[in-house]
Amino acid sequence: MSDPQDDAPAPKVRGRLAEIKQGWAESGRFLTGQAASGEQRLPPGQHLVTNWPILDLGTRPRIPPERWQLRVFGAVEEAVTWDWDALLAQPQVRPVSDIHCVTTWSRYDNHWEGVATAQVLAAVRPKPEARFVVLHSYDDYTTNLPLDDFAAPGALLAHRWEGEALPVEHGGPVRLVVPHLYFWKSAKWLRRIEFVTEDRRGFWEERGYHDRGDPWSEQRYSEEMGIEEARSAI
């Protein structure tokens, strides 16, 4: 099945916040250079918040659940398209996890509900050569993940948060949640999941964010930028 958006150009950075964040990526803002120590729950350079900030490119697509569809395709044995009913017909999980955003806020104990990414793998059966996943969203945002990170325990396609339908501004009807990586990897308004054999950078990864984004080793920005250069730019 071909999707008319497959060759769509990169979305415009519309919001002021997105512009500011792109500037931060370019200047290496928020790099502390500290290493994460042992048992601490808060990754280095992060501070705790109790609200839930909203971050995106400034376009918040409103997709009613009855019009929402997810295409899962690429290097898989069996591509599938799930509509809302098909998503709800999958086994549901209710993990609790912390959010760590590259802009330095973290939010503890988020109660999610949805479909484990492991269940997505079981449905499509990635080919042996599939090594990365590209997420495509309804706002044309993209982000990339190694297959192992996508499939990690705790990762899910979330449609509920704290017992309520996931709010539109946080990516409803359905978003990805990959709690062990910075939150830019958790695509909101999820539309397509593409399994690929070679890594392909997404929206922020192309603009100076780290390819993997592990908060515990402060993988905020691309190594190509150089940590000294990044720090001296703060």
Ligand X SMILES: Nc1nc2c(c(=O)[nH]1)N[C@H]1C(S)=C(S)[C@@H](COP(=O)(O)O)O[C@H]1N2
Comparison of 60 and 131: residue with beta carbon closer to ligand X: 60
What is the nearest approach in angstroms of ligand X to the Cβ of residue 96? 16
- φ, ψ of residue 120 to 5 degrees: the values are -60, -45
Q: Could you give the string, one character per residue 85-114, with x where binding to Mo ion holds by CB under 5 A and - elsewhere? A: ----------------xx------------
According to CB under 6 A, which one of 27, 28, 43, 57 is a site residue for ligand X?
57
Q: Is 137 in the site for ligand X (CB under 6 A)?
A: yes
DSSP 124: H
Instruction: Please state the separation of Cα 47 from the chain's center in Å.
Output: 20
> Under rule CB under 5 A, which residues in 159-188 are in contact with Mo ion?
184
Instruction: Please state the separation of Cα 90 from the chain's center in Å.
Output: 21
Instruction: Give all strands (DSSP E) within 2-54, no chain letters.
Output: 47-48
What is the nearest approach in angstroms of ligand X to the Cβ of residue 151? 19
Comparison of 71 and 107: residue with beta carbon closer to Mo ion: 107
Q: Is 113 in the site for ligand X (CB under 6 A)?
A: no
Q: Is 23 in the site for ligand X (CB under 6 A)?
A: no
Instruction: Give all strands (DSSP E) within 59-179, no chain letters.
Output: 69-74, 80-83, 96-100, 105-116, 132-137, 142-146, 156-161, 164-165, 175-177
Comparison of 33 and 53: residue with beta carbon closer to ligand X: 53
According to CB under 6 A, which one of 68, 82, 184, 221 is a site residue for ligand X?
184
- Which residue is listed with tokens 């990586």? 181
Q: How far apart are CA 156 and CA 174, in angstroms?
A: 10
Amino acid found at 76 = V
Instruction: Give all strands (DSSP E) within 22-121, no chain letters.
Output: 47-48, 69-74, 80-83, 96-100, 105-116
User: How many residues make contact with ligand X (CB under 6 A)?
Assistant: 18
Comparison of 103 and 128: residue with beta carbon closer to ligand X: 103
User: How many residues make contact with Mo ion (CB under 5 A)?
Assistant: 4
According to CB under 6 A, which one of 46, 106, 186, 222 is a site residue for ligand X?
186
Q: Is 79 in the site for Mo ion (CB under 5 A)?
A: no
Q: Is 204 in the site for Mo ion (CB under 5 A)?
A: no
Q: Is 161 in the site for ligand X (CB under 6 A)?
A: no
Q: How far apart are CA 18 and CA 13, in angstroms?
A: 6
> Which of 192, 162, 158 has its CA nearest to residue 175?
158
Using omega within 30 degrees of 0 as the cis cutoff, is the peptide bond preceding 173 cis? yes
> Using CB under 5 A as the criterion, which residues of the chain lie in contact with Mo ion when the complex forms?
55, 101-102, 184
